[in-house]
């Protein structure tokens, strides 16, 4: 394709986004738009699937039959979310079956802290490489990560790509139910002297890991996403919204919010968080 048609396409795409209208077809997309949209949707799809696989053991290890059903429903929801996103990616020309077969979404690390590192070639947010080892972990994953995902996905609900927007309302509502499950259990365990300290330890583990998912403040990549209408806010703006939400909940439940600082690159002495 010559440069002029791509330039014209870019002008039309930016004009449509600026007017508040949505992109609906591949023909409207520039190479830049398609590449960045595919990346963001793949991150969501892989994270949904890896998250579901991480929850699976807790169907059998839940404390009672009610929670066995609840965890099974959460797993079903997450797999459905993944499938919805992969179907969108199929429409972008991705061979999802080949992709699924070539990645291990059950892969987990044993390190206590991988910081912001990538572990494999899939696109999941790196918190999904950690194993969920106790019921306290499971609850804090709901409390922290589902809450963090909710704050991130708010932007996708009004992204410039209409097919993505169209599926996000249902996904967002179900993620809210998962978060509510975590909130209910967090309140219960935090207010019981027998379980409070173990829950606090789980919060100390999962809160910093969740704070790492949002990406570097003033990230060049995020600026591109915003230019293309794929995101609305800077990474740190979303992170601070999440942090304020957690602070409010912890104040209600009698928990202490752990300290968190961004990972520092030894070469640049600047925060280094992918995305």
The Cα angle at residue 119 between residues 113 and 125, in degrees rounded to 5: 80
Structure tokens at 117: 């590192």
Rounded Cα–Cα distance for residues 36 and 106 (Å): 26
Instruction: Provide DSSP, the chain.
Output: --HHHHHHHHHHHHHHHHTTPPB-SGGG--HHHHHHHHHHHHHHHHHHHHHHHHHTHHHHSSSSHHHHHHHHHHHHHHHHHHHHHHHHHHHTT--HHHHHHTS-TT-----S--TT---SSS---GGGGS---SHHHHHHIIIIIIHHHHHHHHHHTT-SBHHHHHHHHHHHHHHHHHHHHHHHHHHHHHTSTTTHHHHHHHHHHHHHHHHGGG--TT-HHHHHHHHTTS--S-HHHHHHHHHHHHHHHHHHHT--PPP----B-TTT-SB----
DSSP, collapsed to helix, strand or coil, labels residue 193 as coil
Q: What is the pLDDT of residue 111?
A: 83
Q: What residues have CB less than 8 Å from 61, skipping those under 6 apart? A: 135
The per-residue pLDDT string of the chain (275 residues; one tens digit each, 9 = 90 and over) reads 445 577 898 999 999 999 999 999 999 999 999 999 999 999 999 999 999 999 999 999 999 999 999 999 999 999 999 999 999 999 999 999 999 999 999 999 988 888 778 888 999 999 999 999 999 999 999 999 999 999 999 989 999 999 999 999 999 999 999 999 999 999 999 999 999 999 999 999 999 999 999 988 888 999 999 999 999 999 999 999 999 999 999 999 999 999 998 875 433 333 434 44
Q: What CA–CA distances, in Å, run from 91 to 13, 38, 88, 94, 248?
A: 19, 10, 5, 7, 41
Q: Which residue ranges form the domains of the chain, and what is each CATH number?
A: 26-253 (1.20.1260.10)
Contact call for residues 130 and 208 (beta carbons, < 8 A): no
Task: Report the alpha-carbon distance of residue 45 to residue 79 in Å, rounded.
Answer: 9
Entry pTM: 0.91
Hey, how many other C-beta atoms are within 10 angstroms of the C-beta on 253? 18
Exposed (0-12), middle (13-18) or buried (19+): which is 173, by Cβ within 10 Å? exposed
The helix (H) or strand (E) run that includes residue 14 is helix 3-18
Token look-up 């583990």 returns 205
């Amino acid at each position: 394709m010559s440069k002029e048609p791509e330039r014209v396409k870019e002008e039309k795409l930016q004009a449509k986004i600026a007017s508040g209208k949505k992109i609906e077809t591949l023909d409207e997309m520039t190479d830049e738009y398609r590449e960045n949209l595919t990346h963001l949707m793949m991150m969501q799809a892989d994270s949904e699937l890896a998250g579901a696989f991480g929850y699976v053991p807790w169907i059998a290890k839940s404390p009672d039959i009610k929670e066995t059903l609840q965890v099974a429903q959460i797993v079903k929801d997450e797999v459905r979310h993944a499938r919805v996103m992969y179907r969108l990616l199929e429409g972008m020309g991705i061979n999802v079956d080949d992709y699924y077969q070539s990645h291990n979404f059950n892969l987990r690390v044993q390190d206590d802290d991988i910081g912001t590192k990538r572990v494999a070639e899939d696109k999941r947010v790196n918190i999904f490489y950690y194993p969920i080892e106790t019921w306290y972990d499971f609850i804090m994953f709901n409390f922290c990560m589902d809450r963090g995902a909710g704050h991130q996905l708010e932007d996708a609900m009004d992204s410039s790509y209409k097919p993505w927007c169209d599926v996000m309302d249902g996904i967002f509502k179900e993620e809210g139910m998962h978060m509510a499950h975590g909130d209910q259990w967090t309140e219960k365990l935090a207010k019981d002297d027998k379980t409070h300290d173990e829950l606090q330890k789980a919060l100390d583990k999962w809160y910093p890991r969740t704070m790492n998912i949002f990406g570097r403040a003033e990230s060049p990549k995020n600026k591109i996403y915003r230019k293309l209408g794929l995101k609305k806010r800077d990474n740190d703006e979303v992170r601070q919204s999440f942090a304020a939400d957690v602070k409010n909940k912890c104040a209600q439940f009698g928990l202490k919010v752990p300290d968190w600082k961004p990972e520092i690159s030894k070469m640049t002495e600047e925060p280094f968080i992918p995305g």
